[in-house]
Amino acid sequence: MKPQESIPTTKVQRSAKFVKTGFQVGGNYIKHYSKKLFNPNLDDKELNEDNAIDIYNSLSELKGSALKIAQMLSMDKNILPKSYVDRFSQSQYNAPPLSGPLIVRTFTKNFGKSPEKIFDSFNLKSSNAASIGQVHQATLNGKKLAVKIQYPGVGDSIASDLKLVKPFAFRLLGMSEKELNVYINEVQERLLEETDYDLEVRRSIEFSEACKNLDNIVFPKYYPELSGNRIITMDWLDGLHLKEFLRTNPSQELCNKIGQALWDFYNFQQHEMRAVHADPHPGNFLITPEEKLGVIDFGCIKELPDDFYVPFFSLISTDVINDKELTLDAFRKLEMISSKDTPAQVQFYYNSYKEMIELFAKPYSSSTFDFSKPEFFDQIYAYGDKIAKIPEFKQARGVKHFIYVNRTNFGLYTILHDLKATIKTDTYKPHFD
C-alpha cells in the first residue's frame, strides 16, 4: 500500500475531493443505467462495487471523520449493500498510511522533537493505519512501545466533513434530514472527543484500571509523559486481530473464552460504570499469544445517563416489557413515542418497538446464549429490512443515546457471532440501585 505524502486539510481541498467523488459516483450511475437499457434484468452488484471503491478511496485519502463514518457503516450489515460493507471494512484494520517525512513533521510540530530524539528506536513505517491516526513501533529503555500519531487537520475538519458526508448518507441510508442531523450531531460530539488524545489517555488509564480484574483481558500501560494532544504512547501488545485469529482455526473452547471476555468487558462497563467503550470494531482488539483479549483503544467512550439507562435497560432485564403501560411509559421517556402521536400511531410504534426490544434482549433472556446460530441475526436483519420500508421510520425517533448504545451492542453481538461463541450472559446484569 503506497504511503500518502499529504492529506487534504483545508475545507476547500476536502470539499473538492467530495465533489470529484460525487462526479465519479454520478458517472457510475450513468454507466449502470445505460447498460440496463440493453439488459433490464441487470442487478445493482456492479454499480455498488464501483461506488464502494470510489467512495472508499476518497475517504481513505481524506482520513479523519470521513473515514470514520465508513468504519462505522461497515459494522451495520443490515444498512448497506454487501459491496460497501466489504470495501468499508478495510478501514477497521488498515487504511493507506502517511509517508515517513510527513510523520516526522507531524511529530515535531505536536511534540517539539523528532521521534528519534525521544525514543531509542522509532520505526517510520506504520504497523497500523486507521481513520484518526496510525501506530508506529518504538523502543525506550528496553520496552517495546506503540506510538499513535493523529493525522494532521483531523480535529479541525470534523464539522465540515460531516456536512460533506450528508449527500452520500442521504443516498445510502435514506434517512430524513431531521433524523440524519440527530445522528450527525451525536457523531460529531464523539468524534471531537476521539481527536482529543489527552482525554483518551486519561480515559484509557481510568477504564483499564476499572476493568483490570476482569478475567482474560489485558490492557497496555499508558505513558502520559510521552503523550500529548496529538500523540499517545503505550506498551506494545503482541497479538492477532480477529480476522487473523480466526484464520488460525482456533478451538471453539478458545473462541468461547475470548467471547466471554468481550461480553464481560462490555457489560461490566455498561452496568457498573454507566459508560462504555463504544467502538467495538475488531481493529480495536487483539488476541494475545497468552490467549487473552487485548484492548488497545479507548478513544470513543459513551456515557449512559440515568434518564436513558433506567428506562432502556429496565425494558430488557425486568418484566416491564410484559406490561403495556409500563412499556409505553419507558418508550415516552426514551422519546420513542411522542405526546403528539395519535392513538393509532401509539399502537403502531408500541408494536414495532416492542418487537425490536425483544430481539435486542434475547441474549439477556437466559443465563447462556449461543451466538453461533444464524436465526438470531436473520431476525435482526429482517427487522431492519422491514422498518427501512416503512415511511413512519423516516422521521427521528428516540433520544440521541441510542445511536452509540445500539452500535455498541450490535457490534458486540456481531463479533460474538463471528467467534460462534456461547456466552454466560448473567455475569454482569443491569441494575438500578
Tens digit of pLDDT at every position of the chain (433 positions): 445 445 555 555 555 555 455 545 445 544 444 554 555 555 556 655 665 566 656 655 655 455 555 555 444 444 444 544 554 454 444 555 667 787 888 778 878 889 999 999 999 888 877 667 889 999 999 999 999 988 777 776 676 666 666 665 555 555 566 666 766 777 778 888 888 999 999 999 999 999 999 999 999 999 999 998 889 999 999 999 998 999 999 999 999 999 999 999 999 999 999 999 998 888 889 999 999 999 998 888 999 999 999 999 999 888 899 999 999 999 999 999 999 899 999 999 999 999 989 988 999 888 999 999 889 988 887 887 777 677 776 666 788 898 889 889 988 998 999 999 999 999 999 998 8
| Per-residue model confidence (pLDDT) at position 271 | 96
| Per-residue model confidence (pLDDT) at position 168 | 57
Q: Count other Cβ atoms within 10 Å, centred on residue 325.
A: 8
- Regarding pTM above 0.85, the answer is no
| Per-residue model confidence (pLDDT) at position 40 | 55
Rounded to the nearest 10 degrees, the angle between the axes of helix 197-210 and helix 177-194 is 80
Q: 146: part of which helix (H) or strand (E)?
A: strand 143-150
Q: Give the amino acid at 202.
A: R
Q: Count other Cβ atoms within 10 Å, centred on residue 116.
A: 13
Q: What b/e readout covers 337-365, taking b as 16+ CB neighbours within 10 angstroms?
A: beeeeeeeebeebbebbbebbeebebbbe
- Phi, psi at 166, each rounded to 5°: -50, -50
- Residue 274 and residue 267: Cα distance in Å, rounded? 9
| Per-residue model confidence (pLDDT) at position 263 | 97
Name the DSSP class of 240: B
Quick one: which of 215, 272, 320, 263 has its CA closest to 430? 272
| Per-residue model confidence (pLDDT) at position 433 | 80
- Residue 329 and residue 350: Cα distance in Å, rounded? 11
DSSP string computed for 166-214: HHHHHHHH---HHHHHHHHHHHHHHHHHHT-HHHHHHHHHHHHHHTTTS
Residue with cell 487485548: 294
The answer for 279, left when phi > 0, alpha when psi is -120 to 50, beta otherwise, is beta
Quick one: which of 64, 31, 78 has its CA closest to 50? 31
Number of residues in the chain: 433
Structure-block grid coordinates of residue 377: 441475526
| Per-residue model confidence (pLDDT) at position 385 | 72
